[in-house]
């Protein structure tokens, strides 16, 4: 593994890390975890065997990325987001409650789309998909899928607005909005938005 | 201590750990903490002196188990649950605010019942009891005691349903329910449920 | 640095720590972080370059104190509070979303007042000020500034009452309250409280 920075106090047991990625203090990356190029994995993180992280992903401190979690390119995982992979967890080592662990059907995947952001301490139930360029507010508890570019907040999380690629909120009038920072134009239709054909920059 | 696995990067200062228990990377178990047999204590956990953990307990990563917390056999403590032991905490080292720390009355116990589950990032106020085989949803903020077999969610947490020993939700009709997985029968009476006399398996 | 305790497994890279402060296991204090005297920094904490922590502050385990966060004397930071410093975070290393990171305008400060308390797992949006001797409930998501002595709870956090210097709730009648523990008197006016002129102790 060339051009990878691993802090001396980190434990990295996987061979599957892309160039330019940095793993910080006291993080632990298990064998058979996969991390792409140019990522940043913060202090005290844990990445489990089977987790998949794309390229250019920022994983802030203390995150636990379990088997079953896939994170697409360019996502931002805020400080200590709560991923889960079991809808109705029990202690697998206790005979009175471990009936569901006789096979692997308890394992439910989670998908975080390209360029999406998950705010600090957000909680994602197992099985959630977060759309591309969406934003989950800090402390939100996400119980349903999040559309592309949507901003969701609260417990349970609900749709609060829409954000541009850059993360800033879009203000729609007559179903149209232009990002004040990026100058990109968007069109709203029902429960989704998409870029309009005409934009002033590419 | 025989047959105990302690990861080389973990700090284990107590002598009171039962056989078959595993303590993972960068966890810290203080002197005078008590942990039973066949438990799993995940990466980056902290178990304080005075904490009591039973047998067959699964403690996922990054949990902090304080003095005053008791966890019964077979419980599942999800990723980074928030236990507390003081209802109105202040900095004990600051003279303007530390009046309550002249004695130990600030310390309020928490009890997690047999086989119960606490979801990822759940918050428990000091003094809470969670009933046997109950389930606290991910991200719930628990401000009142939780009955046996109850499923609670939200902030503040409220009763959302009932779960079987195996963790799956029970669907009651005319105060009766049968778990589709375990085939156990339950009877509902007011704010509690209990197993019916007749069951198809023991 | 005299009279400072640093656990053998902690990483302390700053020179700016006051006497009597203790840094516990597997915590990481970055260069150019500033921590005052007589503080306690719990296990698995992370204090970033640029963070400012006063004297007599209690920082419980697993906290992440970012650049932009200032904590005044005598505050209590409960287990794993979520600080943030960016209102609309994106992955700075991904070209499609990193427009806002061409300068430092994304960085928004947070201020925690003297003697205030932040409960376990509380979430603070970037830009929040928490008043002196205020108390943020466990699991609250703070989206607006918190007045001095206020108690806020919920998601989003709302005013739930008022607390004394010692942390205990005040019960107002006809705009006046006396703390049962401290015997201090308070007067309520609109959305604030202050100590009355006459008190039975200084």
Neighbours of B133 (CB within 10 A): 26
Which chain A residues are closer than 8 Å to B62 by Cβ?
44, 46, 62, 64, 80
Question: ipTM beyond 0.90?
Answer: yes
Position C191 scores a pLDDT of 86
Neighbours of C57 (CB within 10 A): 27
**Do the Cβ atoms of A97 and A79 come closer than 8 Å?**
no
Q: Are A91 and B79 within 8 A, CB to CB?
A: no
Position B188 scores a pLDDT of 95
Give the gap in angstroms from C-alpha B3 to the nearest C-alpha of chain C: 25
Which residue spans within A48-167 are E strands per DSSP?
52-53, 58-59, 64-65, 69-71, 76-77, 110-112, 117-118, 123-124, 129-130, 135-136, 141-142, 150-153, 158-163
Which chain B residues are closer than 8 Å to C169 by Cβ?
88
Give the rounded percent of residues in chain B with a pLDDT score beyond 70. Answer: 97
What's the whole-number average pLDDT of chain C? 95
Q: Chain A to chain C, count of Cβ pairs less than 8 Å apart?
A: 111
Least confident piece of the model among A177-181, B62-66, B146-150, C57-61: A177-181
3-state helix, strand, coil in chain A (%, to 5): 0, 35, 65
Interface residues of B toward C, Cβ cutoff 8 Å, are: 11, 26, 28, 44, 46, 62, 64, 80, 82-84, 88-100, 121, 123, 125, 141, 155-156
CA B156 from chain center: how many Å?
18
Q: Are C121 and A117 within 8 A, CB to CB?
A: no
Give the gap in angstroms from C-alpha B155 to the nearest C-alpha of chain C: 6
Q: C85, C93, C106: which to substitute to probe chain A, counting the most A Cβ within 10 Å?
A: C93
Low-confidence spans in chain B with pLDDT less than 70: 1, 197-202
Tens of pLDDT, residue by residue over B124-156, are 999 999 999 999 999 999 999 999 999 999 999
Give the gap in angstroms from C-alpha C178 to the nearest C-alpha of chain B: 15
Interface residues of A toward B, Cβ cutoff 8 Å, are: 11, 26, 28, 44, 46, 62, 64, 80, 82-84, 88-100, 121, 123, 125, 141, 155-156
Q: Are B166 and A44 within 8 A, CB to CB?
A: no
Position C190 scores a pLDDT of 83
Q: Are A64 and B80 within 8 A, CB to CB?
A: yes
Q: Let me know if residue A177 belongs to a domain.
A: yes
Q: Let me know if residue C85 belongs to a domain.
A: no
Tens of pLDDT, residue by residue over A142-159, are 999 999 999 999 999 999
Position C1 scores a pLDDT of 54
Position B191 scores a pLDDT of 86
Whole-number Å distance between alpha carbons of A29 and A13: 6
Give the gap in angstroms from C-alpha A41 to the nearest C-alpha of chain B: 16
Which chain B residues are closer than 8 Å to A141 by Cβ?
138-139, 155
State the average pLDDT over residues A43-71: 98
Q: Which of C57, C80, C166 is nearest residue B99 as measured by Cβ atoms?
A: C166
Q: Are B163 and A94 within 8 A, CB to CB?
A: no
Q: Are B25 and A11 within 8 A, CB to CB?
A: yes
Q: At residue C2, does pLDDT exceed 80?
A: no
Q: Let me know if residue A90 belongs to a domain.
A: no
Position A202 scores a pLDDT of 43
Q: Let me know if residue B198 belongs to a domain.
A: yes
Give the gap in angstroms from C-alpha A36 to the nearest C-alpha of chain B: 23
Q: Let me know if residue C182 belongs to a domain.
A: yes
Domains: count for chain A:
1
Q: Which of C39, C135, C167 is nearest residue B100 as measured by Cβ atoms?
A: C167
Q: A28, A84, A93, A137: which to substitute to probe chain B, counting the most B Cβ within 10 Å?
A: A93
Q: Which of C64, C97, C155 is nearest residue A79 as measured by Cβ atoms?
A: C64
Residue of A nearest to B182 (CA): A99
Q: Let me know if residue B1 belongs to a domain.
A: no
Give the gap in angstroms from C-alpha B149 to the nearest C-alpha of chain C: 23
State the average pLDDT over residues C140-161: 97
Q: What range does the domain containing B173 cover?
A: 166-202
Q: Let me know if residue B125 belongs to a domain.
A: no
DSSP per-residue string spanning B127-159: T-EE-TT-EEPTT-EE-S-B-TTEEEETTTTEE
**Do the Cβ atoms of A33 and A16 come closer than 8 Å?**
yes
Kindly indicate the confidence band of residue C202, based on its pLDDT and cuts at 50, 70 and 90.
very low
Q: Let me know if residue A59 belongs to a domain.
A: no
Residue A79 is encoded by which pair of tokens?
A: 């400080």
Q: Are B89 and C168 within 8 A, CB to CB?
A: no
């Amino acid at each position: 593994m060339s051009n990878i920075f691993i802090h001396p106090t980190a434990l990295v047991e996987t061979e599957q890390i892309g160039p330019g990625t940095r793993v910080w203090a006291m993080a632990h990356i298990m064998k058979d975890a996969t991390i792409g190029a140019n990522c940043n994995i913060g202090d005290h993180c844990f990445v489990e065997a089977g987790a998949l992280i794309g390229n250019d992903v920022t994983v802030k401190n203390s995150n636990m990325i379990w088997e079953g979690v896939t994170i697409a390119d360019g996502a931002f995982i805020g400080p200590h987001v709560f991923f889960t992979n079991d809808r109705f967890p029990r202690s697998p080592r206790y005979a009175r409650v471990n009936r569901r662990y006789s096979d692997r059907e308890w394992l439910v995947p989670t998908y975080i789309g390209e360029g999406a952001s998950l705010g600090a301490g957000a909680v994602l139930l197992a099985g959630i998909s977060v759309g591309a360029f969406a934003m989950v507010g800090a402390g939100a508890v996400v119980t349903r899928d999040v559309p592309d570019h949507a901003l969701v907040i609260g417990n349970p999380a609900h749709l609060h607005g829409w954000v541009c690629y850059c993360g800033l909120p879009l203000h729609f009038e007559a179903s149209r909005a232009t990002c004040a920072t990026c100058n990109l134009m968007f069109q709203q239709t029902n429960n989704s938005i998409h870029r309009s054909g005409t934009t002033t920059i590419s």
